[in-house]
Chain A
């Protein structure tokens, strides 16, 4: 079945540092890929998405590129802020499976001033 693997956290960075959170996936078809973020005390929010190979999703300074050849969707940000501290989830959707998302285990990011 489909699966998503993320780097384990926590990831601790200083403010303005460069962020990479690795995500790789296994899927039988051509899934859509997502990054969701969970801020403390809040629900999951969609951060960005990409629906086909070589698409780049971007939002709030975060970017991720759908790489079919390496089955990856790594999340990057050039300069993190304290307010980016949260848990980040990579997820995929088989485009024939309705609203079913398969999530990775999540990566906690802690940004220190």
Chain B
């Protein structure tokens, strides 16, 4: 079975541009979460979506937005990119909305902002 898949794996943008990152959860998983991992640090929670509704939001500016589609895949959008947005963006999926089981992570999308 396929795990959590993310695209693109690497991308380079310039300041002020916009980026869209995509995530497909494990088949049957209805919850998707997004995390930002700056080099040398632990992941930081950005969003959680469950059954297409936002269930949680971390301490990130409004430039960050996300959505979940009827097939449970998800997109993370970041507008007006800043140099500090350079990071590995991780998507994770789980069966339900509460962390009663395991959170499965993808390999991430590495964003470089120049």
Contacts and interface: CB of A to CB of B under 8 A. Distances in A.
A73 B42 CA distance: 17
B55 interface: yes
A105 B40 CA distance: 7
Given A99-B33, A100-B45, A101-B45, A43 B55 contact: no
Interface stretch (B11-19, B70-78, B104-112): B104-112
A101 B41 contact: no
A106 to B, nearest CB: 5
B45 A44 contact: no
A99 B31 contact: yes
Q: Give the size category of A's interface with B.
A: 20 to 34
Contact of B94 (A4, A44, A99, A102): A99
Interface of A: 4, 32, 36, 41-46, 89, 91, 93, 95, 97-106
Interface of B: 3-4, 31, 33, 35, 40-45, 48, 50, 55-56, 58, 90, 92, 94, 97-99, 102-103, 105-108
